[in-house]
């Protein structure tokens, strides 16, 4: 599996998402680790927490369409997470 490449803006929002996820859920994700990063994206996309969803949407807004398709194809996020 190829490593996913995020742009600078999406990395910034992913860092912000990780901080909020850690504060609210008590779980730390290492953004330097691919599997941990993808786990954060998956868990935050399914979270019912309004704050986490807000930060997830900010992150998702910065993604290239091809990257969104790849995340869906790999089963990391569900297609309805992007509506």
Residue 6: pLDDT over 70: yes
Residue 1: its pLDDT value, please? 57
Helix (H) or strand (E) holding 15: helix 8-25
Which is more confident, 2 or 64? 64
Q: What is the pLDDT of residues 40-64, one digit of tens each?
A: 999 999 999 999 999 999 999 999 9
Residue 81: pLDDT over 80: no
How far apart (Å, rounded) are the C-alpha atoms in residues 79 and 83? 8
* The two structure tokens encoding residue 80: 């309805």
Contact 13, 62 (CB under 8 A): yes
How far apart (Å, rounded) are the C-alpha atoms in residues 69 and 63? 10
Taking all residues of the chain, what is their mean pLDDT, rounded to a whole number? 94
């Amino acid at each position: 599996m190829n490593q996913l490449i995020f742009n600078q803006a999406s990395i910034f929002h992913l860092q912000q998402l990780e901080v909020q996820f850690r504060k609210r859920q008590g779980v730390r994700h290492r953004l330097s680790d691919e599997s941990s990063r993808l786990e954060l994206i998956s868990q935050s996309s399914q979270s019912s927490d309004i704050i986490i969803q807000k930060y997830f949407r900010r992150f998702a807004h910065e993604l290239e369409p091809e990257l969104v398709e790849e995340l869906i194809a790999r089963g990391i996020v569900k297609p309805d997470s992007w509506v």
